[in-house]
Structure 1
Amino acid sequence: MARKYNPAMSAPPSATRYISGYSPQLIAQTEASIASGQLGPALLKRYPEAHEVRNERALHAYVTDLKNRYQRNAPPLSHISYDNRLHVIRNALGTHTTVSRVQGTKLKSKREIRIASVFRTIPKEFLRMIVVHELAHLREREHDKAFYQLCCHMEPDYHQLEFELRAYLCWLETTGEALWE
Structure 2
Amino acid sequence: MSPSLQLVAPSCLLFLSLPLLLRAADYTVGDGPWDTGTNYAAWADNHAFVAGDVLVFQYVKSQHNVFEVTEGTYRSCDTAAGVLKGYTTGFDRIELTEARSYWFICDYPGHCVGGMKLAVNVSDGGSAGRGDAGPPPSVPMPPPGSAAAASPPGSCRSWAAWALTLSVFVVVNYM
Which structure has the larger Rg? Answer: 2
Give the TM-score taking structure 1 as reference length. Answer: 0.23
Give the TM-score taking structure 2 as reference length. Answer: 0.23
Higher-helix-fraction structure:
1
Higher-strand-fraction structure:
2
Higher relative contact order (CA 8 A, sep 6+): 1
